[in-house]
Every structure is written in C-alpha cells, then in structure tokens.
Amino acid sequence: MKNLFTPITIGAIHVPNRIFMAPLTRCRADVGNVPNELNAEYYRQRASAGLIISEATSVTPRGFGYPNTPGIFTNAQIEGWKKVTSAVHAAGGRMFLQLWNVGRISHSAYQPDGGLPIAPSAIKPKGKIFTGTEMLDYETPRALETSEIPGIIAEYAHGAKAAKAAGFDGVEIHNANGYLLDQFLRDGTNHRTDLYGGSIQNRSRLTLEVTEAVVSVWGADRVGIRFSPGGVFNDMHDSNPVATFGHVLKELQAHKLAYAHITQVTAQDVAHGAAAGAGPRELRAYYPGNIVTAGGFTQESGNQAIAEGWADAIAFGVPFLSNPDLPERFRKNAPLNTPDENTFYASGPKGYTDYPAMSV
C-alpha cells in the first residue's frame, strides 16, 4: 500500500518520498526583495523533503503585499535565488519556485508608482494590511483593463524564465489563497463583463493562459499549480466552487502538468465561514493526474489520503517550518519540535534556522 515514503515521479522529477514542503511566507528577504544566505541555509536544512515548494515569490514589482518577501524579476533576485537552489541541490534536494502576484491584497504603499493595487474588479477586501510600518485598511483596487491582461501573462512568463535562470527544478503557479489569479477565477471577486468575467469558462481564461505561458517556458512536466477551492482567506468566496474548480482542472488535464496542488478545507477554515466539500477528495474525479494537497495533515492522515487515492503527496507547512528533518522524524515516529508562532514572520535566524534536528 502506498504511503508517505513510497517514491513517486512528479512530472519530470523522481522524488524519494511524498513529504513535500509547503510554500511558507517567512518575510526574510533582503532589500530589493532579494533572497540571501540565511534563506539558503533555511531551505538547505529542509532538503530531505520529496519536493520543496518555495515561499510565494512575486513576478512583478506591483505584485507585493507583505514586507520582505522575495521577487523573481531582477538580476539581483535571480542571483539571490541561485544561492538557495545551489544549497538545496548540494544537499540532495529538489525545489520548485512558486510564482505570485497578490493582486488586490496589496496597498498603494507597496506599489512602485504609489497607485492602487490591481484586481479583476474594483472590490475592496475586508480587513487590514501591514505596510511594514503600520496597519491600514485595504484600498479599493483598480480593475484591470482588458488590454492590460497580456502584460499580466507576460510577467508570469518572465518570472518562469527567471526561475529557470536561478536554477530551480520547476515552478508552481500560485492560483490560490485570494491572490490575483484566484481573484479572477472566483465569482465573489470577479464581476467583469469582458472575456475574463461572467461564465466559468471566462473566469478560468486567465488561469489557463498563464499556465500555457509558463508551460511554454518550462514544459508541462516541470509545472505545478495551486488552488484553494474552499478557502475564505483574503475575503474569498465562490457560489459553486466544485463546478468552478472542477472545470479548470478538467481543462488542465490536457497539459499533463507535474501536479495540481489542491488545499484541503480545515476546521479553522470552516470556523471562518468556509464550506466543507470542496477539496482534493471531491475534486479527484476532475483530475486524474498527480494531486498534492495541504491543510493540517499529520503523518497518519497523510498516509490515509495517499492510501485512499485522492492525494499523491502531502505538503506540510508548520511541521516543516519547525522540523527541518521532518521526513526522518516521521520515519522514526519521533516527537516534533514545538513551533514558535511569534517568529513565523519575524526577521533573523530565530525561529527560522535554529530549530534543532533530531538527536542521533
């Protein structure tokens, strides 16, 4: 019976286990959104993952919404990421870069020209944003003109090319968690009346066009894509998530991507208004390829999901954050380190590179 330790081929990559490292924003990039030596050490420590999926990384100067997050559009950023990929590869690991544009989950304070953030529609998200110095209300974003869409796609293609230059093994398109591509896909945030709004087919268009552009750079077998069908993070909702995401997944079948990364609805999500019943288990029928999933899994529940066939690999977030040697701890059923939530988005090595490996 397959489990977390059964090797698997994910597109062009053969991996020794199905314990993946989930993308985790840690807010520790340098000035200019450049990865550094500390980032390289952090990822190197976790190279025993079957696959590391990097923290979300902006493909454009206007795609940021959090302080000290990395980018992948300048030469300095490419050189910074080379330090990371070299360290991971030297330790025997494999790593995909997650391509990101936050869309409306930004603020004019983050925009290069001080303008409004972009979105499919001018719908203000609930809540507040940290600008690096203060908490402010989100602003009402500017709806993109149809003529601007090709430029958005080109930014993802450029980020994909830069990721290749930086030495990654592949890329993951961030189409989840209420960021730009997710905003286009769901009807709660997309009220457009052009070719990119209205029907499920139209709302899916940007996701599919970005995927085609990224695949043209990498080849489909080195591209993954992440979705959060039932998620409500960043004030998201959709009237029929199974129909919406089921359609996109059916369309993506033809590409034969390395994987689809579909997050599970957790109890915490439900407590914040998410509806259960729109996750990898329900969407497996629409996507026969490799499914990676994430969302509060333990070793036991991860093994069960793989054995039942609705997931092929499990991405662990906080457990990997606090246990650099997570696969070995699982193998030996060893205790896990306690994560320090106060350092999740802090600076420096504390709570980042100082979690101890298991004693021999």
Task: Please give the pLDDT value at position 360.
Answer: 58
Q: Rounded distance, CA 193 to CA 360, Å? A: 61
- What 189-194 contacts at long range (C-beta under 8 Å, 24+ apart), as own/partner pairs, is 189/104, 189/119, 189/120, 189/121, 189/123, 189/236, 190/120, 190/121, 191/120, 191/121, 191/123, 192/120, 192/121, 192/143, 194/146
Domains of the chain: which residue ranges?
A: 8-343
| 287 carries an active-site annotation | no
Of 43, 156, 179, 196, catalytic: 179
Residue 360's alpha-carbon distances to 5, 34, 92, 325, 332, in angstroms, are: 20, 35, 20, 12, 11
What sign for the dihedral angle of Cα 27, 32, 35, 38?
negative
Greatest CA span in the chain, whole angstroms? 61
Please, which residues have CB within 8 angstroms of residue 254's CB and are 6 or more apart in sequence? Answer: none
Is the domain spanning 8-343 CATH 3.20.20.70? The answer is yes
Q: Report helix, strand or coil for 50.
A: coil
The pTM assigned to this predicted structure is: 0.97
Residues 239, 280 contacting (CB under 8 angstroms)? no
Look up tokens 């033809």; give the residue: 254
What sign for the dihedral angle of Cα 210, 212, 218, 221?
positive
Which one, of 100, 91, 98, 99, lies nearest residue 42 by Cα? 91
Residue 316 DSSP class: E
Residue 203 DSSP class: H
Return left, alpha or beta for 92; rule: phi > 0 is left, psi -120 to 50 is alpha, else beta: left
Q: Where are the extended beta strands (E) located within the chain?
A: 8-10, 13-15, 19-21, 52-58, 95-100, 118-119, 128-130, 135-137, 142-143, 170-174, 223-227, 259-263, 291-294, 313-316
Q: Rounded distance, CA 217 to CA 157, Å? A: 7
Per-residue pLDDT of the chain (360 residues; tens, 9 = 90+): 999 999 999 999 999 999 999 999 999 999 999 999 999 999 999 999 999 999 999 999 999 999 999 999 999 999 999 999 999 999 999 999 999 999 999 999 999 999 999 999 999 999 999 998 999 999 999 999 999 999 999 999 999 999 999 999 999 999 999 999 999 999 999 999 999 999 999 999 999 999 999 999 999 999 999 999 988 899 899 999 999 999 999 999 999 999 999 999 887 778 877 777 789 999 999 999 999 999 999 999 999 999 999 999 999 999 999 999 999 999 999 999 999 999 999 999 999 999 999 975
Burial class (CB in 10 A: 0-12, 13-18, 19+), 190: buried
Q: Report helix, strand or coil for 318.
A: helix
